[in-house]
Structure 1
């Protein structure tokens, strides 16, 4: 089909007096073609060819459903349809998702890159709700990313208190094998009580201050209302939601965090979209230059919670039951939780301790906690049999005593 310029050229030559043969000779087009386009008053619209069948066609309804349901990543959708039998490449999936996903404009920012070992970024993200001990609780995600290598660590929690924040830091330090010189936060109350113009002059949460001084790293605060200052971690939170959490099934918090560790193995071994390098490769061989943990003793962080001891001598914690010595049944206990276990105190007396069980609906029963309970119950029962509780007492019938004069009166004919 001729273009608009070529059609106009043929018409112009014809208007100059050239015949079809001359126009054909000058333009190189066949005389039938010249005659055909001279007869047209307007240039016909090009006919679109029907699209060729694609390997992705059978999976497009599923992809559209998932895209409308949640903001899944194209990489995750590619993995899902692979399991369904798709044998094409990831690029075709990304191209399709890009065309059907709604476009969202974002303000421009200036990216700030950090040197190896200098900075990590931390944030929390809320994932939804889960049922624990018959109650709905919010589920949160702790995330830390190393600024240079982009190595990630994530952990799901049921709380965002200072104890949990510090424990997640310890787990992240252990995962990375060290910590950076400084860590960047937003203005979370678990870290800072009162922010100053200069971060070092801020009033820190006392428990958190004790923690960062113990390991010697410097906390930094991003500028207020400028979440892009923590752009690396903000992207990580959204990425965790879309690529890992949405649509995932799990039976317990431990199960979810085990799945998160498997997910981390994959993402930390995949090419990063910004650096175009594999985070694990940038991290290993001491490229990240972290401060090693073996230079200081491990920080012990203790969390305190209150529990009511049931009549059957158990307390409940994170969906599991733990026995307590029977003489404390019905009392209020305080739990001191640290390093995967907890100690139980009643009136400042330590009565027992337990390792925290994984999963839920499990029971830990220590025999010594119930030793003597059966004999005590039997003794109480025997006391009840020996001295039964009498509700009513019936006395014997008493015969009324009368004077003999009464009977003589009746024998004489009765009273008048």
Structure 2
């Protein structure tokens, strides 16, 4: 709605012979707006909001009640329900009527009470991803960030994928890095960890493999509220910190170079003064939290094992996570099974173990055992090879014969 003073100015300028386009440019209005008010004549200066666009106190209270109840926060539904009750109001009118209530709900949703945990009580985990230049190639790197909730000491590990195996491997690596196990692990609602969630009943069904992992490590799994990342805000901040500080726009010569950089970076990060605790995480950890963590299991526990079916290519290689591993060349075009762990790749043909390789994390690398190609190339028989040291002797002459000829000619 344009003020009456602006309408009078429009009519005055139009009386001087100005066109609608020039008036619109002068007053900063749309050209069609100027035309509409000029068509209205003197009556356009007196503007009154139609009764249908106003809600009295009773109708406004009714709209707010519907907004909180049946409409579930939807102003369009409120307008329809009011119309059914004989109250005519546009959606925009309803939106203005419930604007105050909407702001109250928004503030209530955003308001957060900081929750602090006791030493050794909780570790928060989260996965993030970032494009990283590795050996001149842009590679999507996934990384797990773990933070001890009390001391804010952090851990980060890079992967080429984000699957259940990587989640479990990263959590176990965090336990080993901290030298102990907390009472509980607070994670995301990713399908790698959570099989199902009932929001009405507030229940969570964790993935059986994740539950078995937690039983092995004697730790209690927990999941944050859906769409409420602030329930694990310490690690959410940690993921952003890794992206912006640890990785940023750095270029790495190899994946191993990236891993070494992250290891050095997290040690340096533990020495910074934290903005919330105003202490260095490493000092806070050593003073209060190290002794509160439970000891690591006496025996090492497997965390990452997958069985994959592969067909051997013509070059006697199989592909696993962009890395190619060799197998004996006699198995070309045969089907094999690969058992992939965090550190090793074992290849079976039927019941026979045919290849064992150290797991590589380098994108598009080749891991080759030369023994797998023995017998593939033909060897020249030894009796047909002319010794390089005496090539002329094979022709029935020697250098002495040529020297005698040259000497006689001289």
- Find the counterpart in structure 2 of residue 209 from structure 1: 211
Shift, 1:176, TM fit: 0.7
Residue of structure 2 equivalent to 1:336 = 339
How many angstroms apart in 2 are the aligned matches of 1:188 and 1:199? Answer: 19
For residues 184 and 321 of structure 1, what CA distance do their matches in structure 2 show? Answer: 36
2:158 alignment partner in structure 1: 156
Aligned to 2:172: 170
- Taking the aligned partners of 2:197 and 2:364, their CA distance within structure 1 comes to 43
3-state secondary structure, aligned to 2:337:
strand
**In terms of mean alpha carbon deviation, does 169-178 or 307-316 score higher?**
307-316
Task: Determine helix, strand or coil for the equivalent of 2:253.
Answer: coil
Once the two structures are TM-superposed, the CA of residue 362 in structure 1 deviates from its matched residue by 5.1
Aligned to 1:366: 369
Q: 1:204, CA displacement in angstroms?
A: 1.6
Structure 1 residues 131, 151: CA separation in 2 closer, same or farther (over 3 Å shift)? closer
Q: CA deviation at 1:138?
A: 3.5
Is 1:275 paired with 2:269? no
Residues of 1 paired with 2:161 and 2:201: CA distance?
Answer: 26
CA-to-aligned-CA distance 1:116-159 (integer Å, 9 cap, x gap) = 00001011112137789x9x864222110000110000112221
**Aligned partners of 1:315 and 1:256: how far apart in 2?**
25
CA spacing shift, 1:306–1:286, aligned 2, 3 Å: farther
Q: Residues 286-321 of structure 1, C-alpha deviation per residue, up to 9 Å, x if partnerless?
A: 634111114454234312334442222223445554
Instruction: Specify every segment of 5 or more residues in structure 1 that has no aligned partner in the other structure, as ranges.
Output: 1-104, 379-416
Corresponding residue number in structure 1 for 2:266: 264
Residue 200 to residue 228, structure 1, CA distance change in 2 (3 Å): closer
Residues 166 and 291 of structure 1: CA distance in aligned 2, closer, same or farther (over 3 Å): same
Corresponding position of 1:55: none
8 Å CA contact 1:321, 1:361 repeated in 2: yes
Asked if structure 2 preserves the Cα contact closer than 8 Å seen for 1:127 and 1:139, the reply is yes
Shift of the 286–157 alpha-carbon distance from structure 1 to 2, 3 Å rule, reads: same
Q: Are residues 1:302 and 2:337 paired?
A: no
Distance 1:196 1:377 in 2: 71
In 2, the alpha carbon distance for the partners of 1:189 and 1:149 equals 29
Native 8 Å contact 2:134 2:255 kept in 1: no
Summarize the Cα distance change of 1:314–1:227 in structure 2 as closer, same or farther, 3 Å threshold.
same
SS in 2 for 1:140: strand
Structure 1 residue 261 displacement after superposition: 0.8
Q: Which residue of 2 aligns with 1:125?
A: 128
Query: Where in structure 2 are the equivalents of 1:71-86 lying within 5 Å?
Result: none
In structure 1, what is the equivalent of residue 190 of structure 2?
188
> Which residue number corresponds to residue 146 of structure 2?
144
Offset of residue 342 of structure 1? 0.7
TM-score (norm 1): 0.59
Deviations 1:142-200 (Å, cap 9, x if unpaired)? Answer: 11000011000011222111111101111111111112100111211111111246999
Equivalence for 2:239: 237
1:292 corresponds to 2:290: no
Moved more, 120-129 or 296-305: 296-305
Question: Following superposition of structure 1 onto structure 2, how do residues 22-171 of structure 1 map, counting pairs within 5 Å?
Answer: 107-128=110-131, 138-171=140-173
Query: What are the superposed Cα offsets for residues 256-293 of structure 1, whole Å, 9 maximum, x if unpaired?
Result: 12111111011101111110001001111563411111
Give me the whole-angstrom Cα distance separating, in 2, the residues matched to 1:345 and 1:373.
Answer: 21
Asked whether 1:356 is paired with 2:326, we answer no
1:187-227 CA-partner distances (Å, limit 9, x unpaired): 11111111246999532212111101111111111122211
**CA contact 2:124–2:232 (8 Å) conserved in 1:** yes
TM-score by length of 2: 0.60
Contact in 1 for aligned 2:213/2:303 (Cα 8 Å)? no
Aligned residues: 272
Q: Compute the displacement of 1:328 (Å).
A: 0.5
Distance 1:261 1:272 in 2: 19
Assess, with a 3 A threshold, how the Cα gap between structure 1 residues 161 and 277 changes in structure 2: closer, same or farther: same
**How many angstroms apart in 2 are the aligned matches of 1:257 and 1:172?**
14
* Distance in 2 (alpha carbons) for counterparts of 1:228 and 1:313: 50
- 2:97 matched residue in structure 1: none
Deviating more after overlay: 196-205 vs 178-187: 196-205
